[in-house]
């Protein structure tokens, strides 16, 4: 058992759970973890760094490169929510949980979760750079430009941009009575910095395949988050 009886009690008693989630939540849905071997941040075989290809500089200078990179490496439209998304969504339906995710795959919302902050946006929120008018994902997959030539882009946080709803996310963490970090290396800021807003007495659990850099009061569960959430009773 990955999930201890004590941790189950914490979930049972909590009324304001905040989940902080990353790419590891979606690997079971067939979406690669960006920072693992084979992910887009893997150095092997890389000609140009993702930090450039996913930046405002690339959008302004070489949007074709950005478009090609994202289409080839970041879109998995057939991916479906897994047990982790489903259990978290169930807790939001009970009015006892909120989710702040780094993921841009929108699987939390696809699972029906309520009270979700997509901290880095969504790949499926497409709009024109010139006037902000929305466009469909299907249209974007066909062409990076609108019929009138306007450049389209997804509403994700590029390097050089500020994440979405930072103040609200910090407030959610401050109000939490249980914080659960799942599937993230916890090295990307300001997301990792959200923990500084947690109240001192609030229990914090991290469920990951590896130890993450986190304060000493964080209880780290090393193992498969799928198994952990399969064991969790909601």
Is residue 139 within 8 A of residue 152, CB to CB? The reply is yes
pLDDT value at 190 more than 80: yes
For the chain, domain boundaries: 1-30+80-120+163-234
pLDDT (average), residues 189-218:
96
Kindly tell me if the per-residue pLDDT of 56 is higher than 80. yes
Q: What is the pLDDT of residue 24?
A: 95
Fold classification of 1-30+80-120+163-234 (topology level): Rossmann fold (3.40.50)
Q: What does the pLDDT read at residue 2? A: 96
Which class for 164: exposed (0-12), middle (13-18), buried (19 or more C-beta within 10 A)? middle
> Which pLDDT does position 20 carry in this prediction?
98
What per-residue confidence (pLDDT) applies to 49?
A: 85
Average pLDDT of the residues in 61-73? 95
Mean pLDDT (whole number) for 148-164: 97
Residue 177 confidence (pLDDT):
98
Can you give the pLDDT at residue 33? 80
pLDDT of the residue at 34: 63
Mean pLDDT along residues 17-26: 97
User: In this predicted model, what pLDDT tens digit does every residue of 94-109 receive, in sequence order?
Assistant: 999 999 999 999 999 9
- Tell me the whole-structure pTM to 2 decimals: 0.93
Structure tokens at 9: 């009690």
Q: What is the pLDDT of residue 156?
A: 98
Q: How confident is the model at residue 50 (pLDDT cuts 50, 70, 90)?
A: confident
37 pLDDT above the threshold of 50: no
47: confidence class by pLDDT, cuts 50, 70, 90 = low
Would you say residue 39 has pLDDT above 60?
no
Alpha carbons 76 and 22: distance in angstroms, whole number: 16
Q: What is the pLDDT of residue 40?
A: 52
| Per-residue pLDDT band at 44 (split at 50, 70, 90) | very low
Question: pLDDT tens, 72-99?
Answer: 999 999 999 999 999 999 999 999 999 9
Q: Which residues form the catalytic set?
A: 120
């Amino acid at each position: 058992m990955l999930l201890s009886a004590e941790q189950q009690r914490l979930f049972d008693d909590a009324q304001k759970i905040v989940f902080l989630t990353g790419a590891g939540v979606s690997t079971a849905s067939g979406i690669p973890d960006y920072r693992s071997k084979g992910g887009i941040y893997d150095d092997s075989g890389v000609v140009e760094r993702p930090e450039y290809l996913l930046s405002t500089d690339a959008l302004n200078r070489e949007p074709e490169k950005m478009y090609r990179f994202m289409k080839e490496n970041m879109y998995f439209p057939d991916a479906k929510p897994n047990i982790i998304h489903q259990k978290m969504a169930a807790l939001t339906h009970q009015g006892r949980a909120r989710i702040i995710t780094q993921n841009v795959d929108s699987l939390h919302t696809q699972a029906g979760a309520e009270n979700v902050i997509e901290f880095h946006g969504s790949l499926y929120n497409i709009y024109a750079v010139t006037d902000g008018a929305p466009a469909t994902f299907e249209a974007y997959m066909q062409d990076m430009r609108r019929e009138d030539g306007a450049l389209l882009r997804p509403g994700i946080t590029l390097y050089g941009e500020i994440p979405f709803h930072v103040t609200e996310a910090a407030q959610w963490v401050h109000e939490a009575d249980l914080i659960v970090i799942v599937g993230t290396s916890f090295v990307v800021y300001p997301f990792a910095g959200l923990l500084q807003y947690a109240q001192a007495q609030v229990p914090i659990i991290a469920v990951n395949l590896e130890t993450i850099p986190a304060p000493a009061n964080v209880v780290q569960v090393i193992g498969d988050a799928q198994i952990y959430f399969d064991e969790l009773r909601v």
